[in-house]
Amino acid sequence: MGTYRMCGCFTRKFKIIEAAPPPDVIAAFEKYAEGGPQMTAELLHRFLVDVQGQGGAKVSDAEEILLQVLQKRHHMAKFRKHALTLDDFHHYLFSSDLNPPIDNKVHHDMTAPLSHYFIYTGHNSYLTGNQLSSDCSDVPIIKALKRGVRVVELDLWPNSTKDDVDVLHGRTLTAPVELIKCLKSIKEHAFSASEYPVVITLEDHLTPKLQAKVAQMVTQTFGKMLFRPESECLKEFPAPEDLKYRILISTKPPKEYLEAQTKKDKEKEKDSDDDVWGKEPTELTAEQEDEKTDSDASDNNQDDEDSDAFEPEIDSSRAPGYKSLIAIPGGKITGRLKEALKVEPDKVRRISLSEQALEKATVSYGTDLVRFTQKNFLRIYPKGTRFNSSNYKPQIGWMHGAQMIAFNMQGYGRSLWLMQGMFRANGGCGYVKKPDFLMNVGANGERAKLPVKKRLRVKVYMGDGWHLDFKHTHFDTYSPPDFYTKVGIAGVPDDEIMKKTKIKEDNWTPVWDEEFTFPLTVPELALLRVEVHEYDMSEKDDFAGQTCLPVSELKQGIRAVPLFDRKGEKLNSTRLLMRFDFV
């Protein structure tokens, strides 16, 4: 008896049954095939318009779908009459290539100034792993560019013999990579995923002599690809459309490189007001305590972009070539933040804040931040104690108009999934137009509790493909997996929520058929979060795939939703069948 059970168990384990279409798919087929056994192109066209919300679809589009499905499923295109059976129709709906949840074309207005867009931004883009001891390399830069990242950060330091420039994370154990190698790789791969501009942010610790060398390297490497501003101060940034296939440099204008300072000087400077980003005097103690904690923990693991406010500016004539390359000048925060956030009529610039500094700034200066970002750039970077290349929640920056939310692309986790989700928008080109409400904040821009603008109804029908992407023993050794799906919203605090389906036991192709409704106050910044897990009674549940999708881009109707692994790589076959409607 025991042997029989064991055999039965193994048979059950490896037998993959193709799941039948869920009731909604059967009902849609019966309705639009008008009760017949097959659906013609004309009938499919009606389904596309009525259910899938594709008002612009033509009968020829439906005909094209028919041909692709019949070729793929039956390896035949020359049928006397092109028509789909119920199984063909189900196959079409469950194909993430033929029926994706969002479009893969650029469709936002790309003619507004660069500051009107959220931009896919990397932090310490040259690190292969953690922030303290990993190697520096051009490989992670290439990977990021291939994923559509548009802002690459390089930290520049003199090499050991002080006659050339290395890229490394300063005062850590990270092994350097030569700047020229990074520049050549950027040139080669900058536009492999997107034709829109790449910004290189330079964190510069160089002497004027080495700055001149950098100017020469950058000019020779990029040639005509390099965007040089016509005047020292741009009054407005150009548009992404006008900067296709161009490279932009962003850094602070040149200053003296101070090789050494006496301890006394350092102490004196710590007491000065210059490095305080803008809290009122009574609030400074906690802020300074934070800075101390970070610097003690990381020994200068914070970005030096805006923290080295003590180094005097040099006469620009000493590094004119370098200064003339800067398209997006980095500003310096000295004194109060409110002053730094003043919008100047004839000058655009960029300032940087750490994730904690941003959180504090939003309490007192929320409106100022939004107004500043309507014309200028705000860059947010991870706090220095994120040694393991983890990330923070990007929403707070997006809510206040920050264009460059700098992320450690070499780490992974839910925050990075959200970032990847946001930049699936607009065809994955790395530029997402900011919502109108961030461009129209008036004098009293603080937003009170907002009403619900729309409701997103999500139905999770079923999933498939795990048996192709995972070993049969990956989830459970002796039985098929027990999958459940978590669905929710990431966005402004009022909209954030997670819900989950029931667990479907012992099934490689689980059918849940469960519906959820999400009220949204700011749908423009909402991301639909989807995660599938395998329930494990005795241990932590196993991860089985995830995706994040911008709610503003979701196509209505029944859609195939591809899933990704922990690092954001697309799984070959694993996907969910879902339905999206706005009610």
Which residues are identified as catalytic? Answer: 123, 169
Q: Cβ distance 334 to 296 under 8 Å?
A: no
Q: Cβ distance 488 to 499 under 8 Å?
A: yes
- Long-range Cβ contacts of 155-164 (<8 Å, 24+ apart): 155/124, 155/126, 155/203, 155/205, 155/304, 156/202, 156/203, 156/204, 156/205, 156/206, 156/210, 156/214, 157/205, 157/206, 158/205, 158/206, 158/207, 158/210, 162/207, 162/210, 164/210, 164/213
CA angle 544, 549, 554 (to 5 degrees): 125
CA distance 124 to 409: 9
Residue 174: what are its φ and ψ, rounded to 5°? -65, 135
Cβ count near 150 (within 10 Å): 25
Tokens of 530: 């989807």
527-534 and 483-490 strand pairing? antiparallel
Q: Cβ distance 131 to 98 under 8 Å?
A: no
Kindly give the interhelix angle for 179-189 and 208-222, rounded to the nearest 10 degrees. Answer: 30
Q: Cβ distance 153 to 201 under 8 Å?
A: yes
Tokens of 101: 């949840």
List of E strands, 86-206: 117-119, 151-158, 165-167, 177-178, 198-204
Distances (CA, A) of 186 to 22, 139, 168, 301: 47, 10, 16, 25
Return the C-alpha torsion angle 241, 243, 245, 251, nearest 10: -140
CA distance 484 to 532: 6
Residue 80: what are its φ and ψ, rounded to 5°? -60, -40
**CB neighbour class for 287 (10 Å; exposed up to 12, middle 13-18, buried from 19):** middle
Which run of H or E residues covers position 544? Answer: strand 542-550
Q: Cβ distance 128 to 136 under 8 Å?
A: yes
Of 198, 117, 151, 119, nearest to 375 by C-alpha is: 117
CA distance 373 to 362: 13
Q: Cβ distance 482 to 537 under 8 Å?
A: no
- Transcribe 191-202 into DSSP letters: TSS-SS-EEEEE
